[in-house]
Structure 1
């Protein structure tokens, strides 16, 4: 089953769902702002994405700019920050068969289907 980590207020996230619907795929929506990821879940997601934690962070978010920008953090600290502030997690993320992509641009979804 395809999973999409989704923020309903995000246009790109909504486009990701529309993309999956247009292609006729069944998918599970994970509203990660409501059901916050654990450290373990986030580490698994990072492995599936094959990226470092800093690459998953939305650096234009106000909380990043005010509290974290310009400071040095370990990977584990960055994961803890994203767990505490899930709004910092890039979106949408699409997972299929143990592989994941950040769907920006939306066409990246094809890379895991």
Structure 2
């Protein structure tokens, strides 16, 4: 099963979900803005992600620009900020249980298939 951390209001997230549906795979949709995030969840994603914690941040978000830009934060602090303000999480996040990618552009999702 492939898990997608999805924001239905985001065009890129909707494109990622549609792409997964076109591949006829079992999908679990996590609407993280409704369901929330935990430190354990984010740390688990990060251990399977071939990137840094900073790569998970949406730096174009107003909250980031107003509160976090140019600040020196530890990994734990970044994860805490994402939990506090989940819109900061890049989207869509696609997790096959072994690896995690940011599904933008959507063809990156093929790395998990």
**Which category of TM-score, normalised to the shorter sequence, fits these structures?**
over 0.9
RMSD: 0.8
Question: 2:43 corresponds to which residue?
Answer: 43
CA distance in 2, matches of 1:41, 1:50: 16
CA distance in 2, matches of 1:17, 1:55: 20
Give the C-alpha shift of residue 65 in structure 1.
0.3
Gap runs ≥5 in structure 1: none
Aligned-partner SS, 2:47: helix
Q: Deviations over 1:24-61 (max 9, x none)?
A: 11101000111111111100011111322111000010
Q: Hey, which bits of structure 1, 4+ residues long, moved more than 2 A? A: none
Q: Are residues 1:88 and 2:97 paired?
A: no
Aligned-partner SS, 2:34: coil
Q: Deviations over 1:39-97 (max 9, x none)?
A: 11100011111322111000010000001111111111111101111100000011113
CA distance in 1, matches of 2:55, 2:4: 18
Normalising by structure 1, report the TM-score: 0.96
Question: 1:75 corresponds to which residue?
Answer: 75
